[in-house]
Structure 1
């Protein structure tokens, strides 16, 4: 007799086809959005030349420690640097390096730095400034350590999680950002990105199953609730993207790039809350799935209650995580408010604090409402097996 493919093999084939389709959509969409960027006139920033250089000699150094800035050296250095990258690789140049409390690249012989280069009227190459240390090796090293630990500890799941993370970052950089720059509504774009990245990440991680479906639907709904809460709260309190710290720079660019700045606040909240909401959604859905496998006859109501109990534990820690993340981002602002002694009425009504409060609370509300959503979806989409009585505990 001819053997038919097992359900597991067919399911695996569907997973591969779905993954290929998702990647094809991403690549096609990204190419359509980014290939036309070459027709635009280069910005002033794009015309600047930057390169990695190594300090070969310190020709002069009058910098000295400053007691007001915890001993940071303030002053000026005259450096000899050798360009290591770019079209001017190998060039040896002199560079004036100004050290202040904020721009402080205190160079020594052997230090790798980033230099900004330009050409004068006589066609001679010179160093405009030394804006930063060369931090790329450190950043790359941290990323490699993270990826290695994820793969070593997570094994196959870790590899899939890494693929999902790369997919998410690619969606944000190659789809979300270009679409917003083209004048698309930021909130709508973010909803699409949330749906795409959630479906892809969980599909890569757990494959096609009802467990994945419950988690995806619950996550998208939870993030949507967070966005609705943020939009309503922002509208009532007169807060939008124009109240963000970067709004002024964006306004200057909006004449060329028709960016809809007002929607950027809610758009950012949707993306920022995605990770925590996805974590809660997957935890509940996965736990309910395991309960159903262990006890096929467990009634829907009992499965819902179990999902709620599991979700309550995850809810508290994830809400704290989100609130603390936003609190940490505004720590410097809180310090300044305490230093200047602003009254509470000014503190809670300032743009900086109000925006962070809405971000943290909207994301946390999304997490809280994700719990019953995923529990209900799991109970509905993971029905008890007929004729299989529930196991007694």
Structure 2
């Protein structure tokens, strides 16, 4: 049996055993999100389509699948979705500006030999593609923090329904501070795990530290980590504010 199919079956069984129906929906969401990404990439090959707009639409659909399809529609997923979309809009504007100024888009000189036989005149805006890649790399971490804060703040509110909006917001920030360090480190080690072979290649080519830091491929990945970290830092106050406002507003309406 194909190893990929075997691993997929093992993953599906474990997710069903641990998560039940929700675990099975989580497994199906992997394929749904893959389908969204595949269609988005296909549409990006058309010069008439804006990669930034397509990325925003893809992130919206992925967020909907990951939050509402898996966890169903409730107050936690609604606030997490709202916080995610606000953060994505801010990041899109920021990352588009950064990629234009730093010019990290396109292929690096390390890839010159592999792509030398191909034509690069494909009519695609590589600056926007670079911004799209960074956004796609951060959407998972942003949603993770958003739903974590939403779930924790809802639990705090239900345990103490009379809590003030300011105290609830402060509690959300406190929860976010604990998440911030672990999530940014996760992104950092994911980079080194995924690009370990590249770092070994740099060593074999006797790259100096300055050459490694200034290489486009390394700089692009480091910037992805930093932008993802910025997204995680942004989602904490945004999610805390939205949840605090929503929960207290809901309490006031019921009085």
TM-score range, shorter chain: 0.7 to 0.9
CA drift at 1:388 = 9.8
**Residue 372 in structure 1 maps to residue 234 in structure 2:** no
Contact preservation (8 Å) 1:226, 1:363: no
Find the aligned partners of 1:142 and 1:294 in 2 and give their Cα distance. 41
Q: What secondary structure does 1:240 align onto?
A: coil
Which protein has the bigger helix share? Answer: 2
**Residue 233 in structure 1 maps to residue 98 in structure 2:** yes
CA drift at 1:143 = 1.0
In the TM superposition, 1:115-130 aligns within 5 A as none
Q: What secondary structure does 1:252 align onto?
A: coil
* Equivalent residue, structure 1, for 2:176: 311
Find the aligned partners of 1:206 and 1:161 in 2 and give their Cα distance. 9
Find the aligned partners of 1:222 and 1:309 in 2 and give their Cα distance. 19
* Equivalent residue, structure 2, for 1:360: 225
CA drift at 1:249 = 7.7
* Equivalent residue, structure 2, for 1:159: 24
Find the aligned partners of 1:181 and 1:354 in 2 and give their Cα distance. 25
TM-score (norm 2): 0.88
Find the aligned partners of 2:190 and 2:220 in 1 and give their Cα distance. 13
* Equivalent residue, structure 2, for 1:179: 43
Find the aligned partners of 1:336 and 1:172 in 2 and give their Cα distance. 30
Deviations 1:14-45 (A, max 9, x none): xxxxxxxxxxxxxxxxxxxxxxxxxxxxxxxx
Unaligned runs of 5+ in 1: 1-135
Unaligned runs of 5+ in 2: none
CA drift at 1:328 = 2.1
TM-score (norm 1): 0.59
Find the aligned partners of 1:181 and 1:250 in 2 and give their Cα distance. 19
Contact preservation (8 Å) 2:25, 2:69: yes
Contact preservation (8 Å) 2:96, 2:127: no
Q: What secondary structure does 1:332 align onto?
A: helix
CA drift at 1:351 = 0.9
Given the superposition, is the C-alpha separation of residues 264 and 386 from structure 1 closer, same or farther in structure 2, using an over 3 Å criterion?
Answer: closer
Which protein has the bigger strand share? Answer: 1
Find the aligned partners of 2:244 and 2:117 in 1 and give their Cα distance. 46
In the TM superposition, 1:93-104 aligns within 5 A as none
CA drift at 1:387 = 10
* Equivalent residue, structure 2, for 1:191: 56
Contact preservation (8 Å) 1:284, 1:374: yes
In the TM superposition, 1:148-297 aligns within 5 A as 148-173=13-38, 175-183=39-47, 184-243=49-108, 245=111, 248=115, 252=119, 254-255=121-122, 258-297=123-162
CA drift at 1:311 = 1.2
* Equivalent residue, structure 2, for 1:65: none
* Equivalent residue, structure 1, for 2:202: 337
Find the aligned partners of 1:250 and 1:270 in 2 and give their Cα distance. 30
* Equivalent residue, structure 1, for 2:166: 301
Which structure has more RCO (C-alpha within 8 Å, separation ≥ 6)?
2
CA drift at 1:374 = 0.4
Find the aligned partners of 1:275 and 1:368 in 2 and give their Cα distance. 14
CA drift at 1:243 = 4.0
